[in-house]
Amino acid sequence: MTFRPPVAPDPALLDAALALIRERRGAGLFIFGLCGAQGSGKSTLARALVAALTARGKRAAALSLDDLYLTHAERAGLGRSVHPLFATRGVPGTHDIPLGLALFDALARGEPAALPRFSKAADDRLPPAEWPHAPAGLEVLVFEGWCVGARPQDEAALAVPVNDLERMEDADARWRTHANTCLGGPYQRLFARLDALMLLAAPSFAVIARWRLEQEQDLAPGARMDAAAVARFVGFYERLTRHMLAEMPARADLVAPLDEMRRPVTLTQAGR
């Protein structure tokens, strides 16, 4: 059985997200946070939200947390100065948080702004000349990402490795501790700007690994990772993903547990 992502989101997901935005939005910029693991369909939903809002006469745009990754050179520097695993994009500590905050500030002031873009094929940020622009007076920004809205773990939880990657390549817990510290600091300032948070909750981490392998099929053959490489890659995300699946449903404004086909099993809105 395959679990290829749909070309359009489940209508129930789109309708619920639009209803939450309509209910919560006031004057000025509204930042809608959309959290979901790799392959959960968050980018598909984000695009559909922007299209639906635009069709309703709203000025809307989408930004991925992935587009805030540090450049390849900057991450290579972190790999040398902090821990070799920081050369690989993914965990907190590998994003340009000041860039994101500056963008949010500009949009909140009603200014037009360039939206950063990151090329996963090149593993580097695209030149600013290739960034799309959000218009002046943007009303809704859909901010999606694998750990958007995440909170740090308790320090004691970092002691025990969750997988072979941590066991073999982070035996002293230096990498995961630094990532957790970053998440508890600069990232919380970024996530504090969210006006609402929606979680697409995968049924299990094993399913997430399969979803991520499917995503590779959309890349050029020379840029694809094989199953072993994907297994290692998702290991970078495992700790925080498991933590979010355990604690975020209790506080997200809208929670959609998904089945293996990415269909919502239920939809739960905070306070209802």
Q: How many Cβ atoms are within 10 Å of 168's Cβ, its own excluded?
A: 10
First vs last C-alpha separation in the chain? 35
Note the pLDDT tens digit of each residue in 93-110. 999 999 999 999 999 999
Range from 67-76, 133-142, 207-216 carrying the lowest mean pLDDT: 207-216
Return the number of other C-beta atoms located less than 10 Å from residue 41's C-beta: 24
- Residue 107 is predicted with a pLDDT of 99
Place 5 in a pLDDT band, splitting at 50, 70 and 90. low
Q: Which pLDDT score is estimated for 38?
A: 87
Q: Percentage of the chain with pLDDT > 90?
A: 82
**Confidence at 272, pLDDT banded by 50, 70, 90:** low
Sketch out the chain's domains with CATH numbers: 15-260 (3.40.50.300)
265 has a pLDDT exceeding 90: yes
4 pLDDT more than 60: no
What per-residue confidence (pLDDT) applies to 210?
Answer: 87
Can you say how many angstroms the Cα of residue 241 is from the centroid of all Cα atoms in its chain?
11
The whole-number pLDDT of residue 212 equals 81
How many angstroms separate the Cα of 113 from the Cα of each of 42, 59, 107, 255?
23, 13, 7, 30
Beta bridge partners of 31: 141
Quote the mean pLDDT of the chain.
94
The answer to whether residue 271 scores a pLDDT higher than 60 is no
Model confidence at 139, pLDDT cuts 50, 70, 90, reads very high
Q: Is the pLDDT of residue 1 over 50?
A: no
Counting residues of the chain whose pLDDT is more than 70, the rounded percentage is: 94
**pLDDT, mean of residues 52-67:** 98
Please write the tens of the pLDDT for every residue from 202-251. 999 989 988 888 877 766 667 677 888 888 889 999 999 999 999 999 99
